[in-house]
Structure 1
């Protein structure tokens, strides 16, 4: 399976927000949800502010959806990426660095244990 192109990674990495639409069981797409996205190596990750509630539950039906960010639109598979302390630490640092202009109280919503437990890798398909 092909990964993200260098151009796609660069564009999304420079863009603060990403729109995510998860796929329902019937194959239709849910309404878009705007969120932060970070890059780690050649991969992209998102975390919900409220842990495993809200839009995260929508990713459970088919583990597929569509993202759009900075002019890049791609169909994706949502891959569970929780449970690795080293990855969580690296992603926490990526969020703190990319969103350093925001108060710690806001960035803290995606760098806590609840968010760690719902981390998703966005794999292009």
Structure 2
């Protein structure tokens, strides 16, 4: 199930995404973690600032599911690791959205790039 255009626009315009991958029991949501998000090619992406060592990233890749809250929306979601050429467009989206931030350079560097995740809504 894809994001609606309205949902993607709302999430793209905000800076308040909190991600909660499921814990190892596959049922309990983890502690919400504030994280940067971007929209590229009509999809929602996040990256781990600390790369693949980010706790939320490891849980998201292991469990492949959880919840996000952003722009007044709360959605159960699926997580999928992303590699390949789409990362260049994701980098551009980070540059556009977070140009003024001193944290931009690490978010488009190899460590964070290796921890890129696509977030898709699950059907309710």
Structure 2 length-normalised TM: 0.91
**Structure 2 Cα separation of the partners of residues 109 and 28 of structure 1:** 31
Say how many residue pairs are matched: 120
8 Å CA contact 1:95, 1:111 repeated in 2: yes
**Structure 1 Cα separation of the partners of residues 106 and 29 of structure 2:** 26
Aligned residue for 1:56, secondary structure, equals helix
Q: Output aligned runs, 1:20-31, within 5 Å.
A: 20-26=19-25, 27-31=27-31
Instruction: Return structure 1 stretches of 4+ with deviation > 2 angstroms.
Output: none
Which runs of no fewer than 5 residues in structure 1 stay unpaired?
none
The two structures, once aligned, show a CA RMSD in angstroms of: 1.1
Partner of 2:41: 41
**Structure 1 Cα separation of the partners of residues 50 and 89 of structure 2:** 20
Q: Output aligned runs, 1:13-24, within 5 Å.
A: 13-24=12-23
Which runs of no fewer than 5 residues in structure 2 stay unpaired?
none
2:68 is the alignment partner of 1:70: no
